[in-house]
Structure 1
Amino acid sequence: MTHDPQTTAWLDQEDAHLAAVIRRARYAVQYVGPGERPDEPAFGYTIGLFGLGSPELVVVGRGSAATHTLLDAVAADVVAGRSVVPGELLEVGREELVVEECPNPGEVLLGANRWYRRPAEYSVPACVLTWASPVGCFPWDPGWDGGRYGQPRPGTWTA
């Protein structure tokens, strides 16, 4: 894809910043605010864990601070050598998370695929960290109110 000179310069600056963050911390967090349509949730994902032999991690439907907190906690464990496995229950502070495979990472991890120079059809893999509601329900539990909590199921939304 060819860009105009101004866009190319901006992308070069973004790439340099991302490289510095990944060099320092081994990963970065990309946060994407909510879209204009209700089916475009806010989400965040890691960039860099794939280079450590792990899938990238995704959190959907949370604000920037909570997304960064959850991703930073789990990514730090991955950097320290821990593996995350789909189906696993994780605890981060008072939060419970279930690791689920992301079935459409090429439609979600745009920045990570750009970083690794991979087309969407050969996307880096990802796992979604699915979080429990304030009353402890997961999306598959009775009492879950998906509209209220804004956490769509993996594979049902795109970036």
Structure 2
Amino acid sequence: MYLDPQTTAWLDQEDAHLAAVIRAHRWAVQYVGAGDEPGQPAFGYTIGLFGLGHPELVVVGLDAWNAHGLLQPVAEQVADGRDVVPGERLSVGHGPGEVVVEVCPNPGEVVLGANRSYRRPAEHSVPAYQLAWPDHAGRYPWDVGWAGPPACQPRPGTWEA
């Protein structure tokens, strides 16, 4: 793929900035606003946990502030040596209180920045877990009566960046 020199220079600066953030904090959070196409929700994900031997973490359907606030405490636990596993419920101090860890079956279509950082093609993507959060009544997207629209927090594997 050909990129013009200006785009290449910009990407090099972004890569250098990201590397500096990861060196200083052990991970970074990448936030992606909702796309123009249906099924492209806003989401955030970590970059750097794979370098610590753990899948990256993804959260869908939250604004940048809340996505970061949810990812931050879980990433801190991982960076301190804790492995989170699919099906586990994790308490987080910010926002919903508890999230459920799910496997992201299509990380190559989601964590694009992490794959760029680790120089991995989509078909050999870094692994990722999606963190499901509850509505104000404590219901999750798979529960009857969940208050959020399905596009707000699509199920893992049903959406892409």
Q: Same fold (TM over 0.5)?
A: yes
The aligned counterpart of 1:44 is 44
The aligned counterpart of 1:6 is 6
Q: Report how far residue 37 of structure 1 moved.
A: 2.9
Return the alpha-carbon distance in structure 1 between the equivalents of residues 86 and 108 of structure 2. 18
1:71 equivalenced with 2:93 (yes/no): no
Is the contact between residue 27 and residue 49 of structure 1 (CA under 8 Å) also seen in structure 2?
yes
CA deviation profile, 1:60-79 (whole Å, cap 9, x unmatched): 00000000011111001110
Structure 1 unpaired stretches of 5+: none
Return the alpha-carbon distance in structure 1 between the equivalents of residues 116 and 76 of structure 2. 22
Q: Report how far residue 3 of structure 1 moved.
A: 1.0
Q: After the TM superposition, which segments of 4 or more aligned residues of structure 1 sit over 2 Å from their partners?
A: none
SS at match of 1:129: strand
SS at match of 2:149: helix
The aligned counterpart of 1:18 is 18
Moved more, 87-96 or 146-155: 146-155
The aligned counterpart of 2:140 is 138
The aligned counterpart of 2:154 is 152
Go from structure 1 to structure 2 and tell me whether the alpha carbon gap of 1:2 and 1:35 turns closer, same or farther (over 3 Å shift): same
Return the alpha-carbon distance in structure 2 between the equivalents of residues 92 and 29 of structure 1. 16
Go from structure 1 to structure 2 and tell me whether the alpha carbon gap of 1:8 and 1:99 turns closer, same or farther (over 3 Å shift): same
| Aligned-residue identity in percent | 69
Structure 2 unpaired stretches of 5+: none
Moved more, 145-154 or 111-120: 145-154
SS at match of 1:118: coil
User: Cα RMSD (Å) of the superposition?
Assistant: 1.2
Return the alpha-carbon distance in structure 2 between the equivalents of residues 148 and 5 of structure 1. 41
Q: TM-score, normalised by structure 1?
A: 0.96
The amino acid of 1:115's aligned partner reads: S
Q: Report how far residue 147 of structure 1 moved.
A: 1.4
Is the contact between residue 146 and residue 152 of structure 1 (CA under 8 Å) also seen in structure 2?
no
Q: Report how far residue 39 of structure 1 moved.
A: 1.6
SS at match of 1:103: coil
